[in-house]
Amino acid sequence: MAAHRRLVLVLGGARSGKSAYAEGRATALAGPHGRVLYVATAEALDDEMARRIVHHRASRPASWRTVEEPRDPAAAMRAAAPDTRVVLLDCITLWLSNLLSALQAQDDGTPEEAAAEEAVDAGVTGLLAAYQAGTADLVLVSNEVGLGIVPAYPLGRLYRDLLGRVNIRLAAAADEVVLMVAGIPLQVKGHDKT
């Protein structure tokens, strides 16, 4: 009997240890010879982000395959090699930012809330469908941005609200949800079965 696949959602604030924990979790799920596909959603739009990307690349095992897909991570998951054991998507937060930026460019301003919700809903539906159709475990990284102050501008409030809804949907579908606080993983849902 085949082992149950796992969907793991790792949440936390900036510099909370999300990526390091997710990488460790992906390694554990893959086992000693399992293939990991790292789906990166970051884009090097400035020097500082380019340095962050270089740092993240250097921290990953050389055996992992990396695909950069800022707007359609589901497509990267569907194209994963058949022997991929784990897909690690880092991160939902930047994917949503990229999606809203594309909508903002089309609208020359803050995107309409209904259009943004529709695009984001379709993206999450596609992501979950790609996981369900595949054979690999999935580890998702996302930020928890709803604990701070209310953003002072409409696009910031739209982003915060949409990410909160995305995280709720992903957490509902996940087998395991971990909240990172100051580098410490707090198990919110499920438990580590590796």
User: Which positions are annotated as active-site residues?
Assistant: 56
Is 31 buried (19+), middle (13-18) or exposed (0-12) by CB count in 10 A?
exposed
Residue 188's closest CA among 2, 3, 67, 21?
Answer: 21
Residues 6, 175 contacting (CB under 8 angstroms): yes
Angle between helical axes of 92-107 and 113-133 (0-180°, round to 10): 140
CA atoms within 13 A on the CB side of 111: 23
Q: Using CA atoms, how far apart are residues 63 and 85, in angstroms rounded to an integer?
A: 13
